[in-house]
């Protein structure tokens, strides 16, 4: 059953999702289905989404869900761990790493406030698995002033994402304005959807360009 089918057939705790998110979910998290994975969900909501991830990812998945609301503790079970804390608190985030180890995938469906989103990203991204996936959803809030955003506002995670495109391509910037960083060396792809941002890491990125074939047949222009 696809993740979207699991969502549509849900009769348990409520799940609040936009339908087009499932294309991104299945595209980027599908690699983990049926495999051992440690999956961090920021924002427990009503508890239904953690059950959805558990059902889709399979019995080898360990789901860790965090929230600031104490009531969310009731969503824990044999495969889902719930921890209460602030997603923007580095000490709390470090405690998760100390307890559960490296996360293979992170889904930020937390407060959607720019301050919280950026602090979570700054701390966690460099600490997820070397081939991990970091996804942030509901980023329409990056355009809303009530959430600390706005078009062109430097606090916006969407604006941050735009700037990271230059970091991704820093090896090709010849004027010295962008220096290669850990992000350049560890990021293989960035994907933007309506309201969803995805960043994918890779332990080794083969950027060397090659020409393969019979050189005598090269076109002359």
Residue 219 has a pLDDT of 72
Write down the pLDDT at residue 221. 65
Which region among 32-41, 124-133, 180-189, 211-220 has the lowest average model confidence (pLDDT)?
211-220
For residue 60, what pLDDT is reported? 98
Strand order in 80-84's β-sheet? 80-84, 61-67, 37-42, 105-108, 133-136, 196-201, 187-193
Strand boundaries in the chain, DSSP class E: 37-42, 61-67, 80-84, 105-108, 133-136, 187-193, 196-201
Cα angle 109, 115, 118 (rounded to 5 degrees) comes to 65
Per-residue pLDDT band at 211 (split at 50, 70, 90): confident
Residue 194: CB atoms within 10 A of its CB come to 10
Q: Hey, which residues are catalytic here?
A: 112
DSSP class of residue 219 equals: -
How many Å apart are CA 98 and CA 11, to the nearest integer? 35
Average model confidence (pLDDT) for the chain?
95
Would the pTM of this model clear 0.75, i.e. be above it?
yes
Kindly state the average pLDDT of the residues 47-66.
97
26, burial (CB in 10 Å: exposed 0-12, middle 13-18, buried 19+):
middle
């Amino acid at each position: 059953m696809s993740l979207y089918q699991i969502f549509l057939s849900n009769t348990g705790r409520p799940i609040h999702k936009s339908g087009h998110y499932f294309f991104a979910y299945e595209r980027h998290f599908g690699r983990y289905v049926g495999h051992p994975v440690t999956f961090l969900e920021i924002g427990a909501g009503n508890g239904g989404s953690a059950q959805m991830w558990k059902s889709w990812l399979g019995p080898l998945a360990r789901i860790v869900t965090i929230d600031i609301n104490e009531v969310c503790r009731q969503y824990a079970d044999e495969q889902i761990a719930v921890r209460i804390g602030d997603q923007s608190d580095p000490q709390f985030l470090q405690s998760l790493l100390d307890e559960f180890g490296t996360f293979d995938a992170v889904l930020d469906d937390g407060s959607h406030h720019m301050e919280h989103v950026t602090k979570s990203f700054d701390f966690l991204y460099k600490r997820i698995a070397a081939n991990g996936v970091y996804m942030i959803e509901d980023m329409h809030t990056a355009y809303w002033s009530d959430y600390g955003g706005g078009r062109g506002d430097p606090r916006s995670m969407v604006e941050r994402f735009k700037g990271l495109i230059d970091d991704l391509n820093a090896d090709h910037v010849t004027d010295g304005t962008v220096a290669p960083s850990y992000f350049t060396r560890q990021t293989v792809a960035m994907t933007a959807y309506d309201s969803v941002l995805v960043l994918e890491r890779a332990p080794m990125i083969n950027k060397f360009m090659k020409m393969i074939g019979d050189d005598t047949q090269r076109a002359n222009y």
